[in-house]
Structure 1
């Protein structure tokens, strides 16, 4: 039985990233008076996936007349998120509804997009058939490439990009102002493990030896969650690679309010941020893992996250290949920043938000699977619903604790992602001299 829950109950949130900050905000807004959040880094954490100048926001309406349960659940989440980005004053300033271009450069990729990504009978999708069609979506001089083999579609409404870092800090600041206690930084906020008593989770212990006891615990530590709880193979920490090019203030003005340009197998870019005038480029691929023998799991090889403000040279090459197709005038510009960015994949890439079946006081809120940041305004509300036992039926079944589908999990599955070598990659295969050397480095285990 789950313990009694009331507005005075002590609630501990492990993780002050995108989902942790959102959950803290929603609980405080619902009147919970005793909420504490632990994180090994101050907000915004340098290792949080949401600590980023921009992320894609795209709402997909249901295409099929008989959609599967996962598609229904995802549409519910993204519809709510879009409403939050549009109307919630905590998040609204950080949503840029500039539009979204989805594209491919081979017949197979283009057919996949037509079948699974866009519905030309709904919304405002417009086909892009030629290189000139792509160039016309942005001001002159932005897209100068030849777009070899490319075809795509652009939607101008309900999509664009979010300034994830500013939105996360906004949620954190608002939650703190209405009573949430954030304990961040090492050792005070660095959780070493959960505390168990009488067959239940009763809190967490931090690196300073402090025991943070609570009647309810919410584990929302992103890719680091797998280090604190046995998820029965339901989570796979997976990383992607991003890089920045610093532009002049004059260039940045020309690149303002651009639609997101996304090739599902080559990469994407969004407009430069306002402060540093840095253009973010991501190469697209199925992801990297870091498979090493895990002493916490009898030496089994598992993906163990680590932080690094560099990317493999092969990722840099892919990013520059994307630029040569789209903006060749930038293809040889030096990178001003780069890092690997971790998330946690579930087997079916649906979120995992549920009370633990064995530990009645524990709620897990993990498994962003590459789609977590854009849920920021409202995901905390769904997590709060799970805590309160009232998560709506259409979501509850999809995001449940489901180890039965992970029993024979293929850890090297591409999970229906495209790009790169069309296979999951392993950081263990990247040689010591196979990394970029850009600016300063911040390295360490998550």
Structure 2
């Protein structure tokens, strides 16, 4: 079965108004499509969207050798385009802060891993950091006060830093609306509960209020929530990470401005305080949490079901504070002002999944950020639009194809080359009710995310 004809008057339904959904809507509108509708149960920005965050790391890695694998080439293609978008697209330019990134480890094994797989000091402007003083010299006096026990790092200043993901998503949303995209969000009429099937194809979506939204083309871009709407043949694993904020004084926020991102691949990372709330974001690093429950559609199997929560497990808080004790011990005991779990969707090989469904030609899949989706925001919608139009470049098309063969006998507990914490994927089902943080509700209500 061939996909239906596509022209600028075709009705296009985008399911999901997160990072990729808003980017897709924007690029479709820029290409002249006049009948684009976006559905989401939440407003923009969604409280469960991975991109609903004050800051995310943006780092473009050069290819390491003369014969890189196809996945590395595809990822480099996407990130190179994204970096160009952050620097030149007026919708996104204000939200990219090219402050640099420090990648580091604190055990001999992890340091060797970084040297082998994470950086190529023969390219770029890497500065090697070997001592605590080397780390301190990358930031103003009094910011890094820790002893950095066993740490070694590499500091890159160009083409790297952080993005204000939430503001960038709102900017894409506003521009897409200005160009004529219709957003049905923050309402039962935008809460997709199922796809509409007709003659073997997908012809729309049904929402919680019973409304049927018909369309010539359907794009499923609901992030970790996509897994509940379609059988992905084990290609998606909703996985969550944990983040927390510390309230800074205005004077501290000024001193901590324009700092490089400090990332330890097994302990965590932090970025400069956001300009609105003067809050420093700290993330503990680990292979992720899942929320495993019995799979109602596959007896004897399990699936990970996303949920929203503006608290984190106490074990995650302890890891974040351990990171602070190594780097900024003067902040290690300061109370958190905000915390939440943040969901993404992992593919088995951590490559994106952008392809037409092999059995439903009107359905385009655009999922599988695998921890790298938010930084692609300026241009990922262009690649998704290319896939819709059937002109995605050959090398990229192969890597991001529908590929259930990669998920046969999938190990749901695979760390997928991530480090930290207990060095295993954790399960929210194992976290008891009294093992979550209880951040002050008054403080939490001040947050918009």
Common fold by TM > 0.5: yes
Match of residue 208 from structure 2: 207
Provide, for residues 311-331 of structure 1, a one-character-per-residue CA deviation record: whole Å limited to 9, x for no partner.
000000000000000000000
> C-alpha distance in 2, partners of 1:56/1:383?
22
Counterpart residue number, 1:431: 432
- In the TM superposition, 1:264-413 aligns within 5 A as 264-298=265-299, 300-413=301-414
Q: State the partner residue of 2:175.
A: 174
Q: 2:88 & 2:166 partners in 1: Cα distance?
A: 19
1:104-144 Cα shifts (integer Å, max 9, x gaps): 00011111111111111111001001000000000000000
1:28 aligns with 2:33: no
Give the match for residue 229 of structure 1: 230
Aligned to 2:95: 94
Structure 2 residue 115 is matched with structure 1 residue 122: no
TM-score (norm: length of structure 1)? 0.98
Aligned to 1:10: 11
Aligned to 1:306, the other structure's residue is in SS state: coil
C-alpha distance in structure 1 between counterparts of 2:160 and 2:182, whole Å: 34
Indicate the SS of the match to 1:397.
Answer: helix
Structure 2 unpaired stretches of 5+: none
Shift of 1:408: 1.1
- 1:246 and 2:247 correspond: yes
Runs in 1 of length 4+ with deviation above 2 angstroms?
A: 294-300, 439-442
Give the secondary-structure state (helix, strand or coil) at the position aligned to 1:420.
coil
Distance in 2, Cα, partners of 1:297 & 1:409: 14
Task: Say which SS state the counterpart of residue 240 (structure 1) adopts.
Answer: strand
1:55-74 alignment, distance < 5 Å: 55-74=56-75
Separation of aligned partners in 1, 2:298 and 2:49 = 25
What TM-score, normalized by structure 2, do the two folds share? Answer: 0.98
Q: Give the deviation of 1:264 after TM superposition.
A: 0.2
| 1: CA distance, partners of 2:356 / 2:303 | 24
**Cα offset for 1:188?**
1.2
Q: Shift of the alpha carbon at 1:301? A: 1.4
Deviates more, 1:159-168 or 1:295-304: 295-304
C-alpha distance after superposition, 1:25-81 (max 9, x if no partner) = 000000000000000011011111100000000001100210000000000000000
| Corresponding position of 2:154 | 153
Q: In structure 2, the residue corresponding to 1:336 is in which secondary structure?
A: strand
Distance 2:210 2:186 in 1: 14
1:385 Cα deviation after fit: 0.4
Q: Does 1:107 align with 2:101?
A: no
Q: Distance in 1 between matches of 2:48 and 2:408?
A: 29
Q: Name the CA distance, whole Å, in 2 between partners of 1:63 and 1:296.
A: 43
- Counterpart CA distance in 2 for 1:63 and 1:45 is 36
The secondary structure found in structure 2 opposite 1:317 is helix
CA RMSD of aligned residues (A): 0.9
Q: Per the alignment, in what secondary structure is the counterpart of residue 399 of structure 2?
A: coil
Distance of 2:122 and 2:53 partners within structure 1: 34
Q: Distance in 2 between matches of 1:322 and 1:26?
A: 39
How far the C-alpha of 1:299 sits from its partner, in A, is: 5.8
State the SS of the aligned residue for 1:121. Answer: coil
Distance in 2, matches of 1:243 and 1:297, equals 36
Secondary structure of the residue aligned to 1:127 is strand
| CA distance in structure 2 between the partners assigned to 1:301 and 1:80 by the alignment | 37
The C-alpha deviation readout for 1:202-237, integer Å capped at 9, x for no partner, is: 000111111000000000000000000000000000
Cα distance, 1:177 vs structure 2: 0.2
- Alignment pair present for 1:184 and 2:212: no
1:2 CA displacement:
0.3
CA distance in 2, matches of 1:400, 1:301: 24
**2-side partners of 1:232 and 1:380: how far apart?**
24
Aligned to 1:216: 217
Distance in structure 1 (CA, Å) of the matches to 2:79 and 2:222: 21
